[in-house]
A = this chain, B = another copy of it.
């Protein structure tokens, strides 16, 4: 298939490019590089061992998006391009609506005009908010608690409304739980700008000496050890799910929404301990107060992804930590030149 990967230089997008290329698909990577580095492209080409077509396009630019799609003969689009920081979304909601919702709308319009009818979309477990029970399946109530989550939910609904209006249009909506880890080459990985919002990159930056200690928000949650429990999933498993999702859309002609998680909850302290084992480094931490909006325990019921896509996660927490650490130790400052 000829596939447009929008947001293809980001963390999950870049890993997915490798999987798609390995399956023989013909890729065009598009990104505005607002939250990713052009070096990702060099690294991707080194891993893939072939040139990779790249277009610097901002989804908010309707004409540029239209031009990118028109007559390019894409069979499908994988759409990763979105802002994703909860705190920032509360401070700059208009930017989040603009990047995420307007961007998705422009993409869908451009797809319609170009006759591209197959989409794989990056959603998030954030659409479940604070779930009533775990594991969370796809029929759980959707209730978002911040502007970022709201944009994810609205994008899902926009896609669903389009699928209802145009039965020829098919979408695979993937609700990620907590992606971590990196490619085994150590050449690409997660490289957040500023203070990491997510646990694993924070741990990595502590282990590599960029930050003094990890703050753990809350040690009194009703969980195995008092720290919050999440469903961490290796980015390579996630990448494989995107390729499986595309295959499923092509094979069945029917859209779907599936959770992508391992089905296993892991606490913050468990992840820290696994990371210390995998890296041989100490990760000093302190337990501080809970953050508003956080919840005790969220992990996936991944059964639907298994039955519809034939996909399940195979890499465990040790692999996640080992690969995250390889990436971080080989690239202490991420994609930036060491300063």
Residue pair A109, B90 in contact (C-beta under 8 Å): no
Interchain CB contact under 8 A, B105 and A161: no
**Which stretch from A92-100, A199-207, A331-339 is at the chain B interface?**
A92-100
Q: Would A93 and B165 count as touching, CB distance under 8 A?
A: yes
A112 within 8 A of B: yes
Bits for A84-123, please: 1 = Cβ < 8 Å to B, else 0: 0000001111100110011001001100100000000000
A150 at the interface (CB under 8 A from B): yes
Complex alpha-carbon distance, A197 and B105, angstroms: 26
Interface residues of A in 253-302 (CB under 8 A from B): none
A48 contacts the other chain (CB 8 A): no
Cβ-defined contact, B109 with A105, below 8 A: no
Let me know if A158 is at the binding interface, CB within 8 A: yes
Q: For the complex, what is the distance from the CA of A164 to the CA of B91, rounded to whole Å? A: 8
Of the four ranges (under 10, 10 to 19, 20 to 34, 35 or more), the interface on chain A belongs to 20 to 34
Are B158's CB and A93's CB within 8 A?
Answer: yes
How many Å from the CB of A110 to the closest CB on chain B?
10
Q: Is A147 an interface residue (CB 8 A)?
A: yes
A162, B101: Cβ atoms closer than 8 Å: no
Beta-carbon contact of A105 and B94 below 8 Å:
yes
Query: Which parts of A105-164 form the interface with B (CB within 8 Å)?
Result: 105, 108-109, 112, 147, 150, 154, 157-158, 161-162, 164
- Pick from B102, B147, B157, B165: contact of A150, CB below 8 A: B157
- Is there an interface contact between B97 and A112, defined as CB atoms closer than 8 Å? no
Nearest Cβ on chain B to A113's Cβ, whole angstroms: 10
Flag if B93 contacts A98 (CB, 8 Å): no
> How far in angstroms is the closest Cβ of chain B from A91?
6
User: B112 contacts A105, CB within 8 Å?
Assistant: no
Which residues of A162-193 have CB atoms within 8 Å of chain B's CB atoms? 162, 164-165
Known: A101-B101, A102-B102, A105-B102. A93 touches B161 (CB 8 A): yes
Give, as a whole number of angstroms, the nearest-CB distance from A299 to chain B.
27
Q: Is B105's CB under 8 angstroms from A97's CB? A: yes
CA of A102 to CA of B104, assembled, Å? 11
Interface hub of A90, A108, A154, A161 (most chain B Cβ within 10 A): A161
Which residues of chain B are near A92, meaning CB under 8 Å?
A: 165
A109 to chain B: which residues have CB within 8 Å? 94, 98
- In the bound complex, residues from chain B placing their C-beta under 8 Å from that of A101 are 97, 101-102, 105, 154
A337 to B119 Cα, complex, angstroms: 46
Q: Is the CB of A108 within 8 A of B90?
A: no
A150→B142 CA distance, assembly (Å): 14
Q: Is the CB of A162 within 8 A of B93?
A: yes
Q: A161: which of B112, B147, B158, B161 is its contact (CB, 8 Å)?
A: B147
Query: Interface of A with B (CB < 8 Å)?
Result: 90-94, 97-98, 101-102, 105, 108-109, 112, 147, 150, 154, 157-158, 161-162, 164-165
Nearest 8 interchain pairs by C-beta: A93-B161, A147-B161, A102-B102, A97-B105, A154-B154, A93-B165, A97-B158, A93-B162
